[in-house]
Amino acid sequence: LHHRDPKEKESTVRKMITDDLSFKRIKAEYDKCALLCSNCHRMLHHMWRTMPELEGKVIKCVFENGELILCKK
């Protein structure tokens, strides 16, 4: 799971489940996230580190014909 806006991140969903927080709080945190495979998640964070001007502007990654497509807001 990838937080669309890191500034709104309360915690990771995994940690919230481990800490046995309420379903309502976990769902609220989950709703702030985009579902990405681990490869896309790594590539997205790598891109943000190498091109900081794009941080927060990409919300999902899609593979088409073996090519990564970044979908912007």
Closest among 65, 58, 30 to 43, alpha carbons compared: 58
What's this model's pTM, rounded to 2 decimal places?
0.58
DSSP letter at 18 equals H
| Token pair in block for residue 61 | 């990654």
> Judging by DSSP bridges, how do beta strands 33-34 and 58-64 pair with one another?
unpaired
46-57: average pLDDT: 75
- Going by pLDDT thresholds of 50, 70 and 90, the confidence category of residue 3 is confident
DSSP string, 28-51: HHHTTEE---HHHHHHHHHHHHH-
CB atoms inside a 10 Å sphere around CB 16:
19
39-46: average pLDDT: 80
